[in-house]
Structure 1
Amino acid sequence: MTIRNADLLSIASSGLAAQNRLLQTTGNNIANVNTEGYIRERTTFVAELNGGVGRGTTSQILDIFAQNQLRRDTSTYAQFTAYHDKASQLDDIFASEASSLATSMSDFFEAMQTAADEPTNMAARQLVLGQADSLLGRFNSLSEFLSYKEDELNLEFNSMTEDANNLIETIAELNNSIRINQYRNQHDVPGAIISERDNAILKLAEMVDITTRTMEDGSTLVNLKSGQSLVMQDGTFNVFEVNGEPDAKQKNLTLKNSSRGVDINLPENSVGGRIGGLFNFRDDILSDAQRQMGQLALALADAVNQQNRLGMDYDGQLGIDIFNLPVTQALNYSTNSSLSLGLNGRIAEGQSNQVTTKDYQIVIDNVAAGPPSTVDITVNLLEPDGTPVLDVNGNPQTQSFTGLDAAAGTFVPIMDGLEIEFPNGASYAAGDQFLLQPTKYSAGQIEVGIVRPEDIAFASPIRVESDINNLGDATLVSTDVTNVNVGNPLTDTSVSAFDGTGGIHGPGQSPAGPLPTDVGAPAQIVFLSADSYEIRDSAGQLITTVSGASSLENLIQQGAASAGWPPAFAAMDNYPGYDLTLQGVPKAGDVFNINYNTDGFDDNRNGLIMADLQSMDTMRRSASASGGPTNLLTFHESYASLVGSVGEKTAKSDVSAQAAKALVDQSKSWFESVSGVSLDEEAANLMRFQQAYSASARLISTAQDLFNTILSSVR
């Protein structure tokens, strides 16, 4: 049998105080029903052994598993939503007919086809230039849009990292306040401060993917999901920083501890949250779109330039470039021996089928002072995010080059159709690095280089005529011009047989001159039989004889493979730079003369080839494989690939965002069901505690009545 020592008044007083505290807790829950992040509280008591209510403890009603799940799902949803919001903006632009590059490219090549059908029609020629301006305008507008999105993204990076840093600092400060409060009061948690701290953690989880750990002193440690600490046990914290090296617009995320002076580079693809979603959008879509646009613009302009140079214009001159291609200035690394050093790059003429969408890191390995000064370099192929490009075997793509001329105005070829210039000569130092981005902004930097419609070279520069006395039925099928470079054939191996003055090399002008092998360029085909022929120059001198020809295709190429082909011709890169193909059966004595196409105003052979460029495989598909015929695609296929890729990634992110929304709603409901304030439940508690309070008050009144009765009885 338990003997209680407490009197009735003490029991009633403790009960009244306990019910009052319960009413305060319930009232506080009701008052904060709409407070963001508020976690409902509950007060519990222990019974005193000698009667009455003992010490009460107020704590939060919290399921830590539900809370952590809500944070994880919040990070995932924010990541996919940020990605999808940005991706859908690009998808809308690329999918719009009003801004479609496919339409502009089709209009340009249709105008080229129309003008080629009437090569003497100046209005049709002028329309080609107009459509060229329109096409470049479309490239420029899309390039500006992508650059604007890049700048907008960088502003968001700066703003969001500042917000995240403020939250990290707030969490650290609130942790300190919680420690102090819990040290002073072991029985009541500082619920308001904890709710504010946890709400800040949830907001931080929206920005980056985090993990948390609650300590015995009530503080919560915060780490990135990848393991790096944000808020530490000693009360210190790390903050985010964004910078770009060497590209100031290619922001990188760094974790900075100012107290220890340590910077940690973070892998942006593992950050998660809204910040991670924006980085993923940049690396997955925006950066690739910028460079694919640049690759397409450069490839198209270079292909048209190359073909126009292989033709003859309305004035009877060899063709010139229709478009001006940009020279790209490489970016200096901050660790270079001098930030005044420069390096420039450009696409080599006629190398459009080698151009990739990648960036190039150029490292100076050695410098030798001249004259001429030379450098040895290593070139590393990089993705837009700075990671190495891998070949088909999974190895980083890198190439070394030695003895490259280093002089202003001298461009030397390296890889992927690129030429680079070292304008500072011997001033470079081993270890200097440069980042060359040949395609990132190129779509907005190409210009139309001609204003005269006469400069469009629709005609072929050579003409093949059969002799009127020919007896066979062999006829011309096609001519092929592959080189029109003009220069000194004795010193420049790249020159063709065209002399630049409206003719082809005669005796004494070709690489084989002067005497004793004084022959000119091929100018005549003389058949000895149906499968044998001689190649002669314009003076009738024999160059070589071909016997047992298997076909009448590429007759000069077959001559170049014969034993009699002049060694001086064979030493050239591509001489004479033209060829012809016949069909039919020639007779002995049949002659075909090759001449410069003087007054060939109605000729449209080169124009038809230019118009057909839109259906030719002229663009490199993948940087991981060589630019061979199996790794090529057309201009329209390239643009369709870009639009399709953006659309596919946007649709995929939409599905992911919707799935993440369902999960975060579910986890929020779970969390709210445990920690959220239910007005119905609190109203019931309020009534219950009110009744208990009234009963305790009644008990005090009864105790007083009993005490008064006892006093009256002893008087």
Structure 2
Amino acid sequence: MTLIRTSDLLSIAASGINAHNNMLRTTGNNIANVNTEGFVRERTTYVAQLTGGVGRGTTERILNTFAQNQLRRDTTTLSEAQSFYDKISQLDNMLASEANSISGSLSRFFASMQTAIDEPGNLASRDLVLGEANSLMERMSSLSKYMRQMEKDVNQELTSVTQEANDLIKTISALNTQIRYVESASTQQEAGVLRNERDLAIQKLSEIVAIETRNLDDGSTMVHLKNGEALVMEAGVFNLFQISGDPDAQRQRLTLVASNAPVTLGVDETEMGGKMGGLFSFRDEVLGPKQRELGQLALAFADAMNEQNELGMDYDGQLGAKLFELPEFQSLGYQDNSAPNLAMNGRVEENQAENLTTSDYRVTVNAVNAGPPATLDVTVELLNSDGSPTLGTNGNPIVYTYAGANALSTGAGNWSSIGDGLEVEFPSGAYAVDDRFLLQPTRNAASQIDLDVLRGEDLAFASPIKAEGNINNLGSATVVSTAVTNTHVDNAAPFDPDTSAFDGTGGLQGPGAAPGGGVGAPTQIRFTAADTFEVLDSAGTVITTVAGATDLRNLIEQAKGTPGWPAAFSSPPLDDYPGYDVSLEGVPKAGDTFSIGYNTDGVDDNRNGLELAGLQDVNTVRRDASKPFSDQNATTFHGAYADTVSSVGEKSATAGIELKAAKAMQQQSNDWFQSVSGVSLDEEAANLIRFQQAYAASARILSTAQTLFDTILSAAR
């Protein structure tokens, strides 16, 4: 069938002029917006009219959805890698700097200690030890404060990017509404400018968080997080991010709040991606753990030095005192506690810092038991720095329960152990079931430890015990070592469980002063045979007899295992009495005696100083919270710090590699997207010439039609 064209030459020419004029306009718009951010080049297409001429045209953006989505994903990956690397490289540079190295300070401290114990009577050398100790504490404090400031900066940055994300979510939702309105009024034209603005907002949002999009038939675009939670929904509904901290206001948590209902949705921060995900990853996977590792190291060091110094005798002949003052920690109460002013305090148990972990501790009240004093049944949960449970070797969360006879006492001054070298106090009066508290003992501890002595004389380099054989002994046995394990002074009943035999005035407890009152502390060993010896007090009274001794090491420890050892000296009630021991070497003869006494005037003695200096090689810092402290599950002070530095360095190097890969991927996807949707000036210039010529040709047709019309009119005259 032959189609009959009914359009005249004039209308055909006019439609061509209009069509090519629009094409020129579109090309000009593309050229004008070549540097406009987010602009997607447009194309105007026409269809021929059935009756002749150009039909209705459509202007639309040239867009490859797959390239656009890939660019968004690669942008998210790059932004996450960049924000993570920027932060971890700062921390890595700080830890790797020799000027800030705790390892160097530790080495200088122990070197000064070694110099001082070589000449324990030299006061200048003793003062140098205190100077290096103060420098070490300042270095730890400085690094801890730097990490705390980084934590504040990260939280502020999270608050800022959260607000930026919320603004973009609102913008996307509003633009969706405008696009639906505009395009519903003209089905032949896209709202190109609005779509560009919306896609640019989505692109910027993909820099902050990882998102997925879904295009609807009405022109709007829905936006979701990778885990499926919606950010932009239909009908102008959207969800906004909310930053809050419970119970720790300094540690921001992320939630979603619906715009059309009072509903709060949980968000997995580790799956956020983008800049926000990079910041969360740095805070939770690097900064938080390293803060706690530094605090654990500082507490373990200070407590170990305190413990060993207390087992010695100082320059003035007094029992050693603590060198460092360890802090008490105030817990954080949760917002839903029964009262806002409820408190729980924590501290390190004396001489138990080796058991510390890097975990936080959440204490939940399960029952309140009437007193006095009132007691609490509680559950103690170990948490990682990101709030997730610390897992045991069986893969289950580590939880301690205290109830019944093991319930924790309330009241100021009543401290109760909760394990891992920690004890807590509940000073408030009215606790209720489900009250919860978060204890973070190692988070900022490195900046809270103070040097507690000012005089070099307070360094207890000498041992408070001296043992020697009688000059008239006939055997070959000699004293090879003494050991001091407890110097706690308590001279009045009821005696503390940790009481020692030291009376605090330069002597040992005699009969009547020692626990039990019958006999005094061991001050003499007398052999009645090569394998039998008696333990006597200062009055010459036999405390007990040891027969069948197989060796001469730890003679008092052997005496503790005999039936004659006083029950008042045993455990219970006392844990470590008398707190010292002596070991011999050789073969004693009957009648040989060895005296044990306070080391009066032992200024040149350095036995305890050697123990202090030797602490740098002792495994004192616990590694794994899932296993009890042991020599295998611990490391030295240097080892602990080296683990921290190497871990950050390794993560920083890996982050640098990932950043380079992310940049390459993002550049590749951007090139792909721009090859389709970007404006090419060469292509647009060619189109400009082509459309201009078509426009001129259409105008020529119009001119020809006018000439023909004039000719017909002339002929009719």
Under a length normalisation based on structure 2, what TM-score does the superposition of the two structures give? 0.97
- 1:174 aligns with 175
State the Cα distance separating 1:371 from its structure 2 match.
Answer: 2.2
- 1:478 aligns with 481
- 1:611 aligns with 613
Query: Secondary structure in 2 aligned to 1:400?
Result: strand
State the one-letter code of the partner of 1:241. Answer: Q
State the Cα distance separating 1:629 from its structure 2 match.
Answer: 2.1
State the Cα distance separating 1:489 from its structure 2 match.
Answer: 5.6
- 1:694 aligns with 696
Does the 8 Å contact 2:173/2:232 carry over to 1?
yes
In the alignment, the residues of structure 2 paired with residue 67 and residue 261 of structure 1 have an alpha-carbon distance, to the nearest angstrom, of 34
- 1:499 aligns with 503
State the one-letter code of the partner of 1:407. Answer: G
State the one-letter code of the partner of 1:611. Answer: A
- Match for 1:413 among 412, 417, 422? 417
State the one-letter code of the partner of 2:634. Answer: L
State the Cα distance separating 1:478 from its structure 2 match.
Answer: 1.5
Does the 8 Å contact 2:361/2:440 carry over to 1?
yes
In the alignment, the residues of structure 1 paired with residue 663 and residue 583 of structure 2 have an alpha-carbon distance, to the nearest angstrom, of 66
- 1:643 aligns with 645
Query: Given the alignment of the two structures, is residue 439 of structure 1 paired with residue 442 of structure 2, yes or no?
Result: yes
Deviation track 1:322-381 (CA, whole Å, cap 9, x = no partner) reads: 111101100111111111111110001100210111101011122233322222211111
Out of 641-650 and 361-370, give the one that drifted further: 361-370
Query: Secondary structure in 2 aligned to 1:51?
Result: coil
Unaligned 5+ residue runs, structure 1?
Answer: none
- 2:408 aligns with 404
State the one-letter code of the partner of 2:570. Answer: A
In the alignment, the residues of structure 2 paired with residue 355 and residue 436 of structure 1 have an alpha-carbon distance, to the nearest angstrom, of 13
- 1:16 aligns with 17
In the alignment, the residues of structure 2 paired with residue 549 and residue 676 of structure 1 have an alpha-carbon distance, to the nearest angstrom, of 94
Q: How does 1:377-396 map to 2 (within 5 A)?
A: 377-396=378-397
- 2:459 aligns with 456
State the Cα distance separating 1:83 from its structure 2 match.
Answer: 0.3
Deviation track 1:381-400 (CA, whole Å, cap 9, x = no partner) reads: 11111111110101111111
Query: Secondary structure in 1 aligned to 2:60?
Result: strand
State the Cα distance separating 1:437 from its structure 2 match.
Answer: 0.6
Query: Secondary structure in 1 aligned to 2:366?
Result: strand
Query: Secondary structure in 2 aligned to 1:363?
Result: strand
Q: How does 1:551-630 map to 2 (within 5 A)?
A: 551-571=551-571, 572-630=574-632
In the alignment, the residues of structure 2 paired with residue 579 and residue 354 of structure 1 have an alpha-carbon distance, to the nearest angstrom, of 25
Deviation track 1:96-125 (CA, whole Å, cap 9, x = no partner) reads: 000000111111111122111111111111
State the Cα distance separating 1:490 from its structure 2 match.
Answer: 4.4
Q: How does 1:262-411 map to 2 (within 5 A)?
A: 262-402=263-403, 403-411=407-415
Does the 8 Å contact 1:569/1:575 carry over to 2?
yes
Does the 8 Å contact 1:489/1:510 carry over to 2?
no
In the alignment, the residues of structure 1 paired with residue 661 and residue 309 of structure 2 have an alpha-carbon distance, to the nearest angstrom, of 53
Deviation track 1:158-211 (CA, whole Å, cap 9, x = no partner) reads: 111111111111111111111011001100101111011101100000000000
Query: Secondary structure in 1 aligned to 2:624?
Result: coil
Query: Secondary structure in 1 aligned to 2:557?
Result: helix
In the alignment, the residues of structure 1 paired with residue 410 and residue 480 of structure 2 have an alpha-carbon distance, to the nearest angstrom, of 47
Query: Secondary structure in 2 aligned to 1:153?
Result: helix
Under a length normalisation based on structure 1, what TM-score does the superposition of the two structures give? 0.98
Does the 8 Å contact 2:356/2:622 carry over to 1?
yes
Query: Given the alignment of the two structures, is residue 522 of structure 1 paired with residue 522 of structure 2, yes or no?
Result: yes
In the alignment, the residues of structure 1 paired with residue 79 and residue 3 of structure 2 have an alpha-carbon distance, to the nearest angstrom, of 60
Structure 1: 4+ residue segments shifted above 6 A: none
State the one-letter code of the partner of 2:327. Answer: P
In the alignment, the residues of structure 2 paired with residue 10 and residue 404 of structure 1 have an alpha-carbon distance, to the nearest angstrom, of 97
In the alignment, the residues of structure 1 paired with residue 664 and residue 54 of structure 2 have an alpha-carbon distance, to the nearest angstrom, of 46
Query: Secondary structure in 2 aligned to 1:319?
Result: coil
Q: How many residues are treated as equivalent by the alignment?
A: 710
In the alignment, the residues of structure 2 paired with residue 206 and residue 198 of structure 1 have an alpha-carbon distance, to the nearest angstrom, of 13
State the one-letter code of the partner of 2:533. Answer: Y
In the alignment, the residues of structure 1 paired with residue 15 and residue 259 of structure 2 have an alpha-carbon distance, to the nearest angstrom, of 53
- 2:196 aligns with 195
State the Cα distance separating 1:42 from its structure 2 match.
Answer: 0.8
Does the 8 Å contact 2:533/2:547 carry over to 1?
yes
Does the 8 Å contact 1:489/1:495 carry over to 2?
no
In the alignment, the residues of structure 2 paired with residue 654 and residue 678 of structure 1 have an alpha-carbon distance, to the nearest angstrom, of 34
- 1:57 aligns with 58
Query: Secondary structure in 2 aligned to 1:630?
Result: coil
Query: Secondary structure in 1 aligned to 2:500?
Result: coil
State the one-letter code of the partner of 2:656. Answer: D
Does the 8 Å contact 2:296/2:357 carry over to 1?
yes
Does the 8 Å contact 1:460/1:604 carry over to 2?
yes
Out of 579-588 and 89-98, give the one that drifted further: 579-588
State the Cα distance separating 1:701 from its structure 2 match.
Answer: 0.6
Sequence identity percentage: 56
Query: Secondary structure in 2 aligned to 1:412?
Result: strand
State the one-letter code of the partner of 1:567. Answer: A
Query: Given the alignment of the two structures, is residue 127 of structure 1 paired with residue 128 of structure 2, yes or no?
Result: yes
State the one-letter code of the partner of 1:242. Answer: I
Q: How does 1:202-281 map to 2 (within 5 A)?
A: 202-281=203-282
State the Cα distance separating 1:410 from its structure 2 match.
Answer: 2.2
Out of 107-116 and 541-550, give the one that drifted further: 541-550
In the alignment, the residues of structure 1 paired with residue 151 and residue 35 of structure 2 have an alpha-carbon distance, to the nearest angstrom, of 39
Does the 8 Å contact 1:11/1:52 carry over to 2?
yes
- 1:674 aligns with 676
State the one-letter code of the partner of 2:684. Answer: E
In the alignment, the residues of structure 2 paired with residue 195 and residue 602 of structure 1 have an alpha-carbon distance, to the nearest angstrom, of 84
State the Cα distance separating 1:130 from its structure 2 match.
Answer: 1.1
State the Cα distance separating 1:62 from its structure 2 match.
Answer: 0.7
Deviation track 1:393-435 (CA, whole Å, cap 9, x = no partner) reads: 011111111332212122221210001111124x111111111
- 1:160 aligns with 161
- 2:100 aligns with 99
Out of 497-506 and 390-399, give the one that drifted further: 497-506
State the one-letter code of the partner of 2:439. Answer: L
Does the 8 Å contact 2:76/2:275 carry over to 1?
yes
Out of 493-502 and 270-279, give the one that drifted further: 493-502
Pair 613,152 (structure 1): closer, same or farther in 2 beyond 3 Å: same
State the Cα distance separating 1:587 from its structure 2 match.
Answer: 2.2
State the Cα distance separating 1:470 from its structure 2 match.
Answer: 1.4
Query: Given the alignment of the two structures, is residue 469 of structure 1 paired with residue 469 of structure 2, yes or no?
Result: no
Query: Secondary structure in 2 aligned to 1:459?
Result: coil
Query: Secondary structure in 1 aligned to 2:108?
Result: helix
In the alignment, the residues of structure 1 paired with residue 549 and residue 655 of structure 2 have an alpha-carbon distance, to the nearest angstrom, of 61
Unaligned 5+ residue runs, structure 2?
Answer: none
Out of 38-47 and 86-95, give the one that drifted further: 38-47
- 1:543 aligns with 543
In the alignment, the residues of structure 2 paired with residue 373 and residue 40 of structure 1 have an alpha-carbon distance, to the nearest angstrom, of 75
Query: Secondary structure in 2 aligned to 1:587?
Result: coil
